[in-house]
Amino acid sequence: MKNPQRYFLRCVLFLTTVLSSTFSMNGLASLPDFTELVEETSPSVVNIATIKHVHTNQYGAMAERYNLPQEVPEIFRHFFDQFDHGQRGRPPFNQGQPKAEKSSLGSGFIISADGYVLTNNHVIQGADEIIVRLSDRRELTAELVGADERADLALLKVEARGLPEVDLGDSDDLKVGEWVLAIGSPFGFDYSVTAGIVSALGRSLPNESYVPFIQTDVAINPGNSGGPLFNLDGEVVGINSQIYTRSGGFMGVSFAIPISVAMNVADQLKEKGKVSRGWLGVIIQEVNKDLAESFGLKKAQGALVAQLLPNSPAEAGGLKSGDIITAFNGQEINLSSDLPHRVGRIKPGTLAKLNIVRNGKAKVIELEIGALPDTDEQIMASAAKITPKENRLGVAAVTLNAEQVRQYGEGVMVERVEPGKAGALAGLVRGDVITMIHGQRITSVDTFNKVVEGLPKGRSVPMQIMRRGSAMFIPLRLQE
Q: What is the mean pLDDT of residues 99-104?
A: 61
Alpha carbon 36 to its chain's center: 34
Among 80-94, 237-251, 261-275, top mean pLDDT goes to 261-275
- Given a cut of 60, is residue 90 above it in pLDDT? no
Q: Which pLDDT does position 99 carry in this prediction?
A: 59
Active-site residue identified among 44, 171, 192, 225: 225
Q: Which pLDDT does position 421 carry in this prediction?
A: 85
Mean pLDDT of the chain: 81
- pLDDT tier for residue 369 given thresholds of 50, 70 and 90: very high
Of the candidates 212, 311, 289, 310, the residue with the CA atom closest to the CA atom of residue 255? 212
Q: What is the mean pLDDT of residues 312-332?
A: 90
Q: Which pLDDT does position 4 carry in this prediction?
A: 57
* 368 Cβ contact list (under 8 Å, min separation 6): 313, 316, 317, 349, 350, 351, 352
- What distance in Å separates the CA atoms of residue 245 and residue 399, rounded to the nearest whole number? 32
Q: What is the mean pLDDT of residues 326-340?
A: 90
What is the three-class DSSP state of 423? helix
- pLDDT tier for residue 243 given thresholds of 50, 70 and 90: confident
Active-site residue identified among 81, 84, 122, 171: 122
Q: What is the mean pLDDT of residues 53-57?
A: 62
Among 56-70, 86-100, 219-233, 439-453, top mean pLDDT goes to 219-233
Class of domain 167-272 as given by CATH? mainly beta
Residue with more model confidence, 91 or 320: 320
| Alpha helix (H) residue ranges in 223-285 | 259-272
- What distance in Å separates the CA atoms of residue 278 and residue 369, rounded to the nearest whole number? 6
3-state secondary structure 66-87: HCCCCCCCHHHHHHHHHHHHHH
Residue with more model confidence, 278 or 459: 278
Active site residue 438: no
Q: Extract long-range pairs of 310-315: CB within 8 Å, 24+ residues apart.
A: 310/382, 310/385, 310/386, 311/281, 311/382, 312/279, 312/280, 312/281, 312/282, 312/370, 312/382, 313/279, 313/280, 313/281, 313/367, 313/368, 313/369, 313/370, 314/280, 314/281, 314/282, 314/367, 315/281
What fold does the segment set 388-477 form as a domain?
Pdz3 Domain (2.30.42)
- What distance in Å separates the CA atoms of residue 383 and residue 412, rounded to the nearest whole number? 15
- What distance in Å separates the CA atoms of residue 349 and residue 465, rounded to the nearest whole number? 42
- Radius of gyration of the CA atoms of the chain, in A: 30
Range in 32-36, 51-55, 146-150, 162-166 the model is least confident about: 51-55
- Given a cut of 70, is residue 315 above it in pLDDT? yes
- Given a cut of 80, is residue 128 above it in pLDDT? yes
Q: What is the mean pLDDT of residues 272-297?
A: 84
Q: Which pLDDT does position 213 carry in this prediction?
A: 94
Q: Which pLDDT does position 382 carry in this prediction?
A: 55
- pLDDT tier for residue 408 given thresholds of 50, 70 and 90: confident
- Given a cut of 80, is residue 16 above it in pLDDT? no
Q: Which pLDDT does position 380 carry in this prediction?
A: 55
Active site residue 204: no
Residue count of the chain, please give it: 480
Q: Which pLDDT does position 305 carry in this prediction?
A: 86
* 72 Cβ contact list (under 8 Å, min separation 6): 63
- What distance in Å separates the CA atoms of residue 455 and residue 476, rounded to the nearest whole number? 10
Active-site residue identified among 81, 152, 190, 446: 152
- pLDDT tier for residue 15 given thresholds of 50, 70 and 90: low
Q: Which pLDDT does position 66 carry in this prediction?
A: 46
- Given a cut of 80, is residue 3 above it in pLDDT? no
Q: Which pLDDT does position 459 carry in this prediction?
A: 77
- Given a cut of 50, is residue 265 above it in pLDDT? yes
Do the bridges between strand 460-467 and strand 412-417 make them parallel or antiparallel, or are there none, so unpaired? unpaired
Q: Which pLDDT does position 378 carry in this prediction?
A: 54
Active site residue 152: yes
**Could you give the percent of the chain with pLDDT greater than 90?**
39
* 415 Cβ contact list (under 8 Å, min separation 6): 388, 396, 397, 398, 430
0.85 surpassed by pTM: no
Residue 256, beta-bridge partner list = 214, 240
Query: In this predicted model, what pLDDT tens digit does every residue of 182-239 receive, in sequence order?
Result: 999 998 888 999 999 999 998 888 667 789 999 999 999 988 999 999 999 999 999 9
Alpha carbon 329 to its chain's center: 23
Q: What is the mean pLDDT of residues 359-378?
A: 82
Q: Do domains 44-158 and 167-272 have the same CATH topology?
A: yes
Range in 98-102, 257-261, 364-368, 403-407 the model is least confident about: 98-102
Q: Which pLDDT does position 100 carry in this prediction?
A: 47
464 near 454, Cβ under 8 Å? no
- What distance in Å separates the CA atoms of residue 355 and residue 305, rounded to the nearest whole number? 13
Q: What is the mean pLDDT of residues 101-124?
A: 89
Residue spans of the domains in the chain: they are: 44-158, 167-272, 278-378, 388-477
Q: What homologous superfamily is domain 278-378 in, according to CATH?
A: PDZ domain (2.30.42.10)
Give me the architecture of the 44-158 domain, per CATH.
Beta Barrel (2.40)
